[in-house]
Structures are given as structure tokens and as C-alpha cells.
Structure 1
Amino acid sequence: MKNNKWILWALIAFVIFVFVQSLFFKFAGSEETDIIFATIAQWMSTVGLGFATERFANYGGYLIGSAELIASALLLITATRRLGALLGLGIISGAIFFHLFTPLGINRTIDAAGNTDGGALFFMACGVWLSCALILWITTKEPTS
């Protein structure tokens, strides 16, 4: 049982680290964030979602960043931990979808010069997905006190 607590907190720390460190990029309107959300917005226009592309390109980073911040806070509180893990799982499932099924790709462009991240963001997203799933599994198996 004690090992589960350490594992649980390591998983929570990883998810929060990934979500919170990305907030600077999302809230500061960094070039990387602009490229990500503009790429997805362009793709949205090709699948009949053109009505939302401008808003998504301009405000998607703020919306996703806010959701990640809320998920991080929920993960810290025992009573809301499962909800935080579910929210994190939903957010990161969307991220993985966009990496796999849109022009964003796994090895995405990070700047105007065409440099890529080597897949780092995608693999971190996979780690967050696995961590959120394990948090749900561990907290579901824990006896309630």
C-alpha cells in the first residue's frame, strides 16, 4: 500500500509538471503554441469545422491551458483526484488524436525555420495519458477512508 502512495504521487507529479510547464507557452502566445493551434485550425477547416478555426487558432491555447491548470489542481486534492485524472485523460487524448490524425504529426514543427521537436511533445503526451490512466486505476483500487 505504501508503494502505491509513492507511485501515485510520482504519477501526479509528472502530469502536473507536464501540464504546468506548458502553461507559459500557451498563455504567453509563444511561436510553438501559435504553430500548433494554427496547424490544427487549418485542418479543422478541411473537415467542415471552418466556422471555429479562427477562434480555435486564437484562443485554443488559452482554453486548453486553463483546462490543464484545473486538472492539475484537481489531482492535488484527494477528493477530486479521479476527476482530475479523467479531465487530464480527456485533454491528453485530444492532444494524441491531433498528433496522430492531423497534419500536426508526431514530429511537429516548432518554429518558422522548420525545426522539429523530434516527437518530444507527442511522447510526453503519451506519458501523461498513461499516468492519468494509472492514477485512475490506483485510486479506484484504494479503499475509501
Structure 2
Amino acid sequence: MKKEVLLWILRIVASVILLQTLYFKFSGAEESIYIFTALGIEPYGRIGSAIAELIVAILILIPRTSWIGAIGGCGIMSGAILSHLFVLGLVVKDDGGLLFSLAVITLLCCLGLLYYNKSKLFNLLN
């Protein structure tokens, strides 16, 4: 019972963080445009990452596919974290490091989901 509750907490936290950024990416918010311009991939990177995050968030929320979404989430958040570390900086447009922190939290949630679904991952590799 406790494991199921923890899995749902990990799923919901990761999905809510992924979904809350979609509005800013799809609407072309100033901060999103700034980030993807700095990365040299505006507008296609912004729209593409928003679509990828939407798909990943949905996969994470479905118990049978949450491990697939978690793999995608790890990839997306690793890219976001590396972008912050090597291009953007930890603080973007005076956000106090919020975007970086949310990326780390999402990555940790996805890693937790993968840990609890490691048997599915091992079956995939065999």
C-alpha cells in the first residue's frame, strides 16, 4: 500500500511540473523564448520540447506506461539540467533558480519511478 502511494506521489509531482510549463512554452512566454533563443533552438526546440513533455507527462500518469514516461522524463530533464549548467546558468531571468530546481525534482521523481519499475527495464534489456 505504501509503495503505491509513493508511486502516485512520484507520478503526480513529475507530471504536474512537466504540465505546468506547457502554457509558457506553447504561448511563447518571454522567459521561454529567452531560454530557447540562448540555446539556439527557438522556436522549434521550444515547441518540440513542449510536445515531448506533454507526451511524457501523460505516459507517467498511466500506471502501465509510467516507466516509459520516466525514461523520457529522465532524458528531457537531463537535457534541461545540462542546459542550465553549461549555457543558461542556474538562475534564469531572476527566477532564483526555480526552473533548475524543478528540473532536478522532476529528474529525481523519474529516477524513483524507474527504480520501482526496474524489473520492467531489465526485461526490456533481455
Same fold at TM > 0.5: yes
The CA distance in 1 between the partners of 2:56 and 2:43, in whole Å, is 22
Residue ranges of structure 2 left out of the alignment (5+ in a row)? 121-126
Residue in 2 that maps onto 1:74: 59
Residue in 1 that maps onto 2:82: 97
Shift of 1:141: 5.5
Amino acid at match of 2:78: S
Residue in 2 that maps onto 1:60: 45
Residue in 2 that maps onto 1:11: 10
Shift of 1:140: 2.2
Shift of 1:57: 1.2
The CA distance in 2 between the partners of 1:122 and 1:80, in whole Å, is 26
Residue ranges of structure 1 left out of the alignment (5+ in a row)? 42-55, 110-115
Residue in 2 that maps onto 1:113: none
Residue in 1 that maps onto 2:91: 107
Deviations 1:64-101 (CA, angstroms, capped at 9, x unpaired): 01000000111122221111000000000000000001
When normalised by structure 2's length, the TM-score is: 0.91
- Between structure 1 and structure 2, the one with the greater Rg is 1
Shift of 1:139: 2.0
Amino acid at match of 1:20: L
When normalised by structure 1's length, the TM-score is: 0.79
Q: Percent identity over the alignment?
A: 38
RMSD of the TM alignment (CA)? 1.2
Structure 2 counterpart of 1:117, from 95, 116, 119 = 95
The CA distance in 2 between the partners of 1:7 and 1:20, in whole Å, is 20
Shift of 1:26: 0.4
The CA distance in 1 between the partners of 2:23 and 2:7, in whole Å, is 26
The CA distance in 2 between the partners of 1:78 and 1:29, in whole Å, is 32
Structure 2 counterpart of 1:127, from 99, 102, 105 = 105
Tell me the SS of whatever aligns to 1:6: helix
Tell me the SS of whatever aligns to 1:57: coil
Shift of 1:30: 0.5
